[in-house]
Amino acid sequence: MVRPLYTGSEWNFELLEDVYNACEVIAYDDLNLNIYQNQLEVISSEQMLDAYSSSGLPIYYKHWSFGKHFSAEEQNYRKGYTGLAYEIVINSNPCINYLMEENTMTTQTTVIAHAAFGHNHFFKNNYLFRQWTDASHIIDYLIFAKNYLYDCEQRYGSDIVEKLLDSCHALSKHGISRYKRPVKLNFFEETQRKEERDEYLKSIYNDLWRTLPKTKKQVEKKHDVAFSDPEENILYFIEKNSPILELWQREVVRIVRKISQYFYPQYQTKVMNEGWAVFSHFFIMNRLYDKGLLTDGAMLEFIHTHSGVLYQPSFDNQRYNGFNPYYLGFEMFKDIKRICENPTAEDKEWFPDFVGSDWLETCLHAVENYRDESFIRQFLSPTMIRKLKLFVLNNNVDKDHYLVEHIHNRQGYKKIRESLASQYEVGNMFPDIQVYDADFKGDRTLMLHHNMTNGRSLNKETDDVLKHIKRLWGYQVKLESRENNLLKKSFSTDAVPQLKIE
Amino acid sequence: MTKYIIDRRLNPKGKSISNRQRFIRKAKKHLTDRVRKNVVDRSITDKSEEKISIPTDGIREPTFGTDHKTGEHDFVLPGNKEFSPGDKIPKPKGGQGGVGAGGDASDQGEGEDEFAFSLTRDEYLDVVFEDLELPNLEEKNREDVTEWEQHRAGYTPVGSPSQLNIERSMIRSIGRRIALKTPKTKEIKRLEHEIEQLEEAIKYYKDDIKAMTKNRALIKKLQKEIEDLRRRHKAIPFVDPIDLRFNNFVKKPKPTTTAVMICIMDVSASMGEREKELSKRFFLLLYLFLERKYEKVDVVFIRHHTTAIECSEEEFFQSKETGGTIVSSGIELAGKILKGRYPASDWNAYIAQASDGDNFTSDLPVLEDVLVKQILPIVKFYTYVEIAGLYEQQRSFWNTSTGRSGMWQLYEGLHSTWGNLVSKRIAEAGEIIPVFREFFSKVNSGPISTLTKDPEKEIL
């Protein structure tokens, strides 16, 4: 006779351990998960609020915007507008899982199954995370960043550091080279690199050189930073080419850029990541119950929590706020399992590749090799479209009505799938803005191009962002919105050069 | 695979505090405006947190984004009930935010211009009383000192064993042993080892073999050396009583951080609801301010018309009286209370008086006498707030010399000799904060310090 792991709702450290071990057996034997070592950390609700305000990272440099987010979160939480998350999990090795002390034992079990196994497996195996992040070194890098910025504040004053960070943050979503493989981060190498550079600068410093007249050749050489192709990574371009930034300021730009890159895979895999974590916890909890390790009461409580997390209102519901990634992702993984096990004639026509194959293998393959956009493009089935009753609306500003273009019927499936997938395309989340030209030999005006699609222009914050770019660049910044090479709209800052950040 | 379960709950809290302070500093300008406006409307006894909304001007974090009100785009929604392809759905009037792209647009309504969050009471009062200071603040020592505070005061060579400072003592012990050239145990061990090796070498030779005499002599020499070292080692103690250092504490009398605030208000017929309300606001501000500077603040309420009585807060603000006004009665009572219950040696006394300026002319000389003899020498600060009439005409009339009340003229005259007496006129709620700030601003507290050096002595 198997006895349940626990009976009450109170948790303690021994129970956490037992539950973890029980989950681990299922995760390895039944789900074939491959995970980083886990580190479970029990925290209080206050600490959870703290973690919120720094994007969930355990260590972050200091900046007022985190204080602003903290104040807003705290307000919402205190007034009861929002609850706190049950957990936060960090893509690091070992994988850090925060468990809230207020959670009941059942919630803790769910959270362990969800984060310590589901998310953890996703972090370790998904190709985007493997390419873009270095889980073993992120914590070290964050420590480096925090210390570096602290030193800068001490040395150059917190005002200037704050301004620099403000400007960098405005561009943080434009600090990624999507088509180049990033260099992995490493605390020791970064520190060493910085020290070597400082050392080198010190060793070659000789005040006499300054007094030498420059030859014409040298003058030309200095300005001859040619670039041929437009650069999509604005922060990178500024870091390397800004005429006014000092060395330490370039390092700060680099830090913001690198940390922003760490988050890059996360907003491209929200649906899949959450979907897989929910799928894992749902599977593990049910297996625990089947084995007799959970009481009926615990199972009922779990189902209640589970369905709360997975709530997806319709578009006409007041609470509708876009697609719930938990729901969409979970349903899709469940659907893949169904197609593998009990395919209909329609599924056979749509998914000849994996109909009847091993469901677990197919799911694990999807986790490894897809991101939200490609995942939806590949796996969203007509069954799902019918279940969600999806439809495509066209919004044309010039018309006084929305047009229903496609609904869940035979003609619509492919189009709906296409539309939904492109909604999750990273290129469509942020406007496509690139550095087009910088007049190095002339007045150093920085020219940016915005590739406009379907007449969708930039919003009213654009001028403010340009001011931030100017702060980093020092000279006038212009931006042109073009569609099919036709100039539609242009923005510009003032032309007064500002030769250092102040 | 192994795992770790860590209890982080005991880690230091408030990791966000420094970020929050940065944020408040950033938002300072707007915050100050809002808070100072808000403090006027704030209810008097409210001690809860303060919800503040500030314009997002200074704290916006702009990023490049698409304007959802331009161009053409498709978007997918769940939950179709009745639509067929080709259906046209009229857009809701007044903006297209309703069914924006994935709900992004719908959030951009009013929330964009104001950012709402809560200030704690301390943060709130910090803003209200920023740059303000109490003039003539003095630490008072009670005669019958009962409270002492222990302060660290370096180290002493004598003390109780429980206060032994091991680190300091050991540093001295090591220093002494180095100075006296105490042999190290390591050195003795090394010599012993050497002897062992030598003995090993000569073990198999007979005593009279000549070749080994040198070694034997060496062993003897070493043995003697060791003996010598041991003797010296023994002679110099590891810890000597002269090494010992103890944490030293001294007792200091705890400075009195108590204040008494006496609120005096004219409740004669001429004081209406408006006048009372304004006075009340002023009293509250002063109370909040004192409360931040002192550990304990006692408040005494005195109302007066022709006679004065001490009363509770409720009675003070609510009861209605009629009749004429004799201000000196109230001041006299205040003097009595101060003398009886709040001796100047123990209490910092503050008096706040509010009135509409009416007083019997014959009372003025009496008032002056009471103030100069009984009150002004012992109080830290005396604020007089005159509630001006509601109408602008009256205020301009007041500005002429004939329009000034007798009280006002008297107080103004006293101010030149008694810097701790200040008076201001208030006509509407919005003026209270500026007036209050004028009373207590750091710059203005300068001339007031011309107050006599030791008021207590003068009384005695």
Chain position carrying tokens 């004799």: B326
pLDDT of residue A279: 96
Question: Do B322 and B269 contact (CB within 8 A), yes or no?
Answer: yes
Structure tokens at A378: 């590949």
Contact list, B51 vs chain A (CB under 8 Å): 75
Interface test with B, best of A397, A418, A451, A463 (most B CBs within 10 A): A397
Instruction: Note whether B77 contacts A393, CB cutoff 8 Å.
Output: yes
Beta pairing partners, A231: A435
Looking at the partner chain, which of A407, A454, A465 has a beta carbon nearest the beta carbon of B73? A454
Mean pLDDT of A121-136: 90
Q: Are residues B353 and B303 in the same domain?
A: yes
Q: Are residues B384 and B448 in the same domain?
A: yes
Where is pLDDT greater, at A213 or A275? A275
Looking at the partner chain, which of A43, A71, A400 has a beta carbon nearest the beta carbon of B8? A43
What residues of chain A, 126 to 165, have a C-beta less than 8 Å from chain B? 162
Quote the minimal CA–CA distance from B103 to chain A in Å: 5
What residues of chain A, 441 to 480, have a C-beta less than 8 Å from chain B? 452-462, 464-465, 468
Structure tokens at B61: 């974090």
Strands A401-406 and B88-90, by their bridges, are: antiparallel
**B216-231: string of b/e by CB count within 10 Å (b at 16+)?**
eeebeeeeebbeebee
Q: Are residues A17 and A110 in the same domain?
A: yes
Which residues touch B262 (CB under 8 Å, ≥6 apart)? B299, B300, B301, B302, B334, B337, B338, B349, B350, B351, B352
pLDDT of residue B454: 39
pLDDT of residue A227: 54
Q: What is the ipTM of this complex?
A: 0.80
Quote the minimal CA–CA distance from A70 to chain B in Å: 7
Quote the minimal CA–CA distance from A287 to chain B in Å: 20
Instruction: Note whether A403 contacts B88, CB cutoff 8 Å.
Output: yes
What residues of chain B, 57 to 96, have a C-beta less than 8 Å from chain A? 59-81, 83-91, 96
Q: Are residues B303 and B448 in the same domain?
A: yes
In a domain, B3, yes or no: no
Q: Are residues A45 and A100 in the same domain?
A: yes
Interface test with A, best of B9, B57, B63, B81 (most A CBs within 10 A): B63
- The residue out of A375, A405, A421 marking a domain boundary is A421
- The residue out of B184, B217, B248 marking a domain boundary is B248
In a domain, B107, yes or no: no
Cis peptide before A343 (omega within 30 of 0): no
In a domain, A248, yes or no: no
Interface test with B, best of A87, A404, A411, A429 (most B CBs within 10 A): A404
In chain B, the residue whose alpha carbon lies closest to the alpha carbon of A450 is B64
User: Backbone phi, then psi, for A157, in 5-degree steps?
Assistant: 95, 145
A172 pLDDT exceeds 80? yes
Query: Smallest Cα–Cα separation from B148: which of B258, B252, B250, B248?
Result: B252
Looking at the partner chain, which of A65, A169, A404 has a beta carbon nearest the beta carbon of B86? A404
Query: Smallest Cα–Cα separation from A364: which of A23, A32, A13, A99?
Result: A32
User: Hey, is the C-beta of A316 within 8 angstroms of any chain B C-beta?
Assistant: yes
Query: Smallest Cα–Cα separation from B433: which of B136, B134, B135, B127?
Result: B127
Q: Are residues A299 and A405 in the same domain?
A: no
pLDDT of residue A181: 62
Instruction: Note whether B11 contacts A47, CB cutoff 8 Å.
Output: yes
Amino acid at B318: Q
Q: Are residues A366 and A284 in the same domain?
A: no
In a domain, A238, yes or no: no
- Per-residue pLDDT tens digits of chain B, which is 460 residues long: 678 888 888 887 777 888 888 888 888 877 777 777 766 665 544 556 667 777 776 788 889 988 888 888 888 999 888 888 988 988 887 544 444 433 333 333 334 457 777 777 777 777 777 767 666 555 554 444 456 778 888 899 988 888 899 999 999 999 999 998 888 888 889 999 988 888 887 777 766 666 677 777 888 888 898 999 889 888 888 888 889 999 998 887 766 667 888 888 887 777 777 777 788 878 888 887 877 777 777 888 888 887 888 888 777 777 666 677 788 888 888 888 888 888 877 788 888 888 887 777 788 888 888 888 888 888 888 888 888 766 544 555 555 555 567 788 888 888 888 878 888 888 777 777 777 777 777 544 433 333 333 333 333 3
A376 pLDDT exceeds 90? yes
Instruction: Note whether A461 contacts B62, CB cutoff 8 Å.
Output: yes
Where is pLDDT greater, at A101 or B388? A101
- The per-residue pLDDT of chain A, averaged, comes to 88
Instruction: Note whether A461 contacts B117, CB cutoff 8 Å.
Output: no
Q: Are residues A397 and A377 in the same domain?
A: yes
Instruction: Note whether A53 contacts B84, CB cutoff 8 Å.
Output: no
Chain position carrying tokens 């890159």: A261
Amino acid at B265: M
Q: Are residues B271 and B201 in the same domain?
A: no
- The residue out of A250, A280, A305 marking a domain boundary is A305
A384 pLDDT exceeds 70? yes
In a domain, A408, yes or no: yes
In a domain, A29, yes or no: yes
Q: Are residues B173 and B49 in the same domain?
A: no
Instruction: Note whether A458 contacts B3, CB cutoff 8 Å.
Output: no
Residue A104's alpha-carbon distances to A5, A15, A78, A301, in angstroms, are 14, 12, 20, 10
Quote the minimal CA–CA distance from A353 to chain B in Å: 27
* Longest distance between any two alpha carbons in chain B, whole Å: 132
Does an H or E element contain B355, and which? strand B348-355
Q: Are residues A400 and A439 in the same domain?
A: no
Supply the CATH number for residue B377's domain: 3.40.50.410
- The residue out of B248, B273, B301 marking a domain boundary is B248
Q: Are residues A327 and A409 in the same domain?
A: yes
Least confident of A183-187, A188-192, A397-401, B380-384: A183-187
Number of structural domains in chain B: 3
- The residue out of B248, B277, B301 marking a domain boundary is B248
A57 pLDDT exceeds 50? yes
Residue A411's alpha-carbon distances to A350, A407, A408, B84, in angstroms, are 14, 8, 8, 12
User: Hey, is the C-beta of B15 within 8 angstroms of any chain A C-beta?
Assistant: yes
Q: Give the pLDDT band (50/70/90) at residue A38.
A: very high
- What is the C-alpha separation between B407 and B410, in angstroms, rounded? 5
In a domain, A155, yes or no: no
Q: Are residues B411 and B454 in the same domain?
A: yes
pLDDT of residue B104: 38
pLDDT of residue B94: 57
Number of structural domains in chain A: 3
pLDDT of residue A287: 94
- What is the C-alpha separation between B266 and B359, in angstroms, rounded? 10
Q: Are residues A17 and A129 in the same domain?
A: yes
What residues of chain A, 383 to 442, have a C-beta less than 8 Å from chain B? 388-397, 400-409, 411-412, 416, 419-420, 423, 430-431, 433
Residue B189 DSSP code: H
Question: Do B4 and A95 contact (CB within 8 A), yes or no?
Answer: no
Contact list, B72 vs chain A (CB under 8 Å): 394-397, 454-456
Give the tens place of pLDDT for each residue, A482-491: 988 888 889 9
Least confident of A407-411, A442-446, B43-47, B299-303: B43-47
User: Hey, is the C-beta of A486 within 8 angstroms of any chain B C-beta?
Assistant: no
Contact list, B109 vs chain A (CB under 8 Å): none
- The residue out of A252, A278, A305 marking a domain boundary is A305
Which residues touch A61 (CB under 8 Å, ≥6 apart)? A145, A146, A148, A149, A150, A165, A255
Looking at the partner chain, which of A78, A172, A395 has a beta carbon nearest the beta carbon of B75? A395
User: Backbone phi, then psi, for B181, in 5-degree steps?
Assistant: 55, 45
pLDDT of residue A167: 93
Instruction: Note whether B74 contacts A94, CB cutoff 8 Å.
Output: no
Mean pLDDT of A348-360: 90
Q: Are residues A374 and A475 in the same domain?
A: no
Mean pLDDT of A258-265: 89
pLDDT of residue B34: 76
Q: Are residues B300 and B223 in the same domain?
A: no
In chain B, the residue whose alpha carbon lies closest to the alpha carbon of A398 is B71
Which residues touch B51 (CB under 8 Å, ≥6 apart)? A75, B116, B117, B118, B119
Helix (H, G, I), strand (E, B) or coil at B95: coil
Q: Are residues A54 and A119 in the same domain?
A: yes
Give the tens place of pLDDT for each residue, A149-161: 999 999 999 889 9
Quote the minimal CA–CA distance from B287 to chain A in Å: 28
Quote the minimal CA–CA distance from A177 to chain B in Å: 17
In a domain, A363, yes or no: yes
Instruction: Note whether B64 contacts A74, CB cutoff 8 Å.
Output: no
Contact list, A315 vs chain B (CB under 8 Å): 77-79, 99
Contact list, B86 vs chain A (CB under 8 Å): 403-404
Q: Are residues B238 and B270 in the same domain?
A: no
Instruction: Note whether A75 contacts B51, CB cutoff 8 Å.
Output: yes
Q: Give the pLDDT band (50/70/90) at residue A380.
A: very high
- What is the C-alpha separation between A301 and A316, in angstroms, rounded? 29
Residue A313's alpha-carbon distances to A408, B105, B342, in angstroms, are 18, 18, 67
Instruction: Note whether A72 contacts B8, CB cutoff 8 Å.
Output: no
Which residues touch B37 (CB under 8 Å, ≥6 apart)? none
Question: Please, what is the end-to-end C-alpha distance for chain A in angstroms?
Answer: 73
Contact list, A67 vs chain B (CB under 8 Å): 16, 18-24
In chain B, the residue whose alpha carbon lies closest to the alpha carbon of A93 is B3
Q: Are residues B337 and B450 in the same domain?
A: yes
Q: Give the pLDDT band (50/70/90) at residue A225.
A: very low
Quote the minimal CA–CA distance from B107 to chain A in Å: 9
Mean pLDDT of A109-138: 92
pLDDT of residue A469: 93
pLDDT of residue B451: 35
Q: Give the pLDDT band (50/70/90) at residue A45.
A: confident
In a domain, A446, yes or no: yes
Helix (H, G, I), strand (E, B) or coil at B3: strand
Q: Are residues A352 and A320 in the same domain?
A: yes
Q: Do you know the residue count of chain A? A: 502
What residues of chain A, 70 to 99, have a C-beta less than 8 Å from chain B? 70-72, 74-75, 78, 94, 98
In a domain, A457, yes or no: yes
Instruction: Note whether B75 contacts A453, CB cutoff 8 Å.
Output: no
Instruction: Note whether B61 contacts A394, CB cutoff 8 Å.
Output: no
- Residue A445: domain span: 428-492
pLDDT of residue A379: 94
- Residue B42: domain span: 16-58+113-128
Q: Are residues A48 and A129 in the same domain?
A: yes
Instruction: Note whether A66 contacts B16, CB cutoff 8 Å.
Output: yes
Instruction: Note whether B117 contacts A72, CB cutoff 8 Å.
Output: yes
Structure tokens at B51: 């919800």
Q: Are residues B314 and B334 in the same domain?
A: yes
A93 pLDDT exceeds 50? yes
Mean pLDDT of A300-322: 90
Q: Are residues B206 and B350 in the same domain?
A: no
Q: Are residues B262 and B239 in the same domain?
A: no
Mean pLDDT of A31-57: 88
